[in-house]
A and B are shown apart, each in its own frame.
Chain A
Amino acid sequence: NAGVMQNPRHLVRRRGQEARLRCSPMKGHSHVYWYRQLPEEGLKFMVYLQKENIIDESGMPKERFSAEFPKEGPSILRIQQVVRGDSAAYFCASSPSGWTGELFFGEGSRLTVL
């Protein structure tokens, strides 16, 4: 069973461009979580999704950021009109339906905004 897959692992964008980060959860997992890691900040919760539903987006910036987890395909974290402050590592985690007490993490996607 492949683990959580994130791509791209590294993404470079210029200010004003769009960034799309993808996350394929573990097989059989229907819950996806996105976290952002800034230097000296640890892991900050962004959004929690189930298939076709956003359960909790309390950590998402109000503008430019969006996330989806369609019925088919990976979860997508989309950042429009990126700014330098968006440079960070973005981690995706998944869990099976129903809370088991454990999140399974991907290796992360590092976004650099020039």
Chain B
Amino acid sequence: AQRVTQPEKLLSVFKGAPVELKCNYSYSGSPELFWYVQYSRQRLQLLLRHISRESIKGFTADLNKGETSFHLKKPFAQEEDSAMYYCALKGAGANSKLTFGKGITLSVRP
């Protein structure tokens, strides 16, 4: 079974503060991990994936297999980062589904 846990529902920070959105997963094999984001009145969309090891909009996420975590980080939050963030996991196999966590609302105050 595959499971994604996002322990917090809401994170509120001031502009310029660091952000860390936590994500832990449970999966017996080698997963693919993703962060999806939904801005106000927009569709859910892919933010980044662990395979790419890229920084998108200043966000990074490192897969830590020892801690089974994939936390999303940004050193200096911006107001436009306010959104709902979902961590997601895809198991091995071409037909494996994408499992989402419950999501966290990030609110960046001016």
Contact = CB atoms under 8 A, between A and B. Distances in A.
Given A91-B44, A103-B46, A105-B44, A33 B102 contact: no
Interface stretch (A17-25, A35-43, A79-87): A35-43
Contacts of B100: 35, 42-45
A34 to B, nearest CB: 11
B95 A55 contact: yes
A33 B94 contact: no
Contacts, number: 50
B8 interface: no
A72 interface: no
Nearest to A102: B46
A21 to B, nearest CB: 16
A42 B86 contact: yes
B16 to A, nearest CB: 29
Interface of B: 6, 32, 34, 43-46, 49, 51, 86, 90, 94-95, 97-103
